[in-house]
Amino acid sequence: MATKLKLGTRGSKLALVQAEWVRAQLLSAHPGLDIDLVVIKTSGDRASQLGIFDEDRTKALFVKEIEEALLLGEIDFGVHSTKDLPADLPSGLEIVAYPIRESPWDVMVLPRGKKMAELSSPALIGTSSLRRQLQLRRFRPDVQFAPSHGNVDTRLKKLESGEFSALVLAEAGLKRLGLRNQVNAEVCREMVPAPGQGALAVEARIDRSDLKPIFSSLDHPETRRQVEAERILMRLLGGGCRVPFGALAELGTQEIRMAVFWCDPAGKNPIFLQEKISLEPKKMLLEMKNLVKRIREESSPKK
């Protein structure tokens, strides 16, 4: 008899593509499973529809109702974009798998034949992320920004209609939707992405030990080490304090190379740092705390 499981997901096109991919991977590894998708409308979806969504400061709202359904036992596991997860998970929940990470980078999507350097001033860039805006101003201080809401297709149509001069999107989303080769996009490697960007997270209840063998085949150790390092830093910095923050961990043989973007809640005093962090757990935590101290010192207003 097949094991029946319920997978909770948001109802956006990208969220459904991601959930279907996870479902397919699990069914391939465990043919005896029967997995139903349960679409859950989140507070983030409602805020986005009303045009009051701040991409950096309220993204945890995209997981709230899914986590509530997990705790109530209405679903067996949920699939999220890792960058939407709060720094601290609700008591009783854990991430049982981080599948292999897609591209962590942001991209600038431009009209056909255009390059970012060719955008005339004042160009209007579509993004609701203060993290992206502050970093873009480093090399294009002349550009203006406007909120960009809705799903990826809606945003791309606004670019085609001339509402924006360009858009900033996560490259992973374009790839998962099969759109990466259909748009003119430049990878923004000068910008530090959001913690966990490009990675999926499979969340379940801690007391569901019966599920752990099922998800072990889906968990990618390198992705887990990268994402957990980024999320540890986010937690130490006070992940709930809603400031523009970027972190990207790249694994070496014995250390992590951590790139960080941070600024104060008002969007002032932005800093960019790169630091090497030990992979040994105790050393990692100590070095992360030292990095947080340095970040806070360097981002404090100079007297």
Residue 176 lies in a domain: yes
193 lies in some domain: no
Q: Which of 45, 56, 76, 84 is catalytic?
A: 84
Among 187, 210, 244, the domain boundary falls at 187
204 and 93 in a common domain: yes
Torsional sign, CA 211, 279, 237, 129: negative
> 81 and 204: one domain?
yes
- Residue 224 zone, left/alpha/beta (φ > 0; ψ -120 to 50; rest): alpha
Do 175 and 137 share a domain, yes or no? yes
How high is the pLDDT of residue 266?
75
Shared domain check, 69 and 204: yes
Q: What is the CATH number of the domain that holds 20?
A: 3.40.190.10
Whether residue 5 is contained in a domain is answered as: yes
d(CA 277, CA 285): 9
The CATH number of residue 297's host domain is 3.30.160.40
Q: What is the pLDDT of residue 151?
A: 87
Residue 250 and residue 111 share a domain: no
Q: What is the structure's pLDDT at 1?
A: 47
Both 291 and 245 in one domain: the answer is yes
219 part of the active site = no
Residue 39 corresponds to which tokens in the numbers above?
Answer: 């679409």
Q: How many other C-beta atoms lie within 10 A of the C-beta of residue 205?
A: 19
Can you give the residue range of the structural domain that contains 167? 106-187
- Give the integer Cα–Cα distance in Å for 96 and 110: 37
Q: Is residue 56 part of a domain?
A: yes
Mean pLDDT by 10 residues, the chain (303 residues): 88 96 98 96 66 55 92 98 94 98 98 90 92 92 91 92 96 97 95 98 97 95 97 87 87 94 83 94 94 88 63
- pLDDT for residue 45: 67
Domain check: are 171 and 84 in the same one? no
pLDDT for res 46: 62
Residue 241 in domain:
yes
- 118 and 86 both lie in a single domain: no
Residues 70 and 215 grouped into a single domain: yes
Residue 194 maps to a domain: no
Q: Let me know whether 203 and 225 are in one domain.
A: no
Phi, psi of 10 (to 5 degrees): -70, 170
Instruction: Specify if 7 maps to a domain.
Output: yes
Whether 25 is in a domain gets the answer yes
- How many domains are contained in the chain? 3
Q: Domain check: are 208 and 83 in the same one?
A: yes
- One domain for residues 242 and 111: no
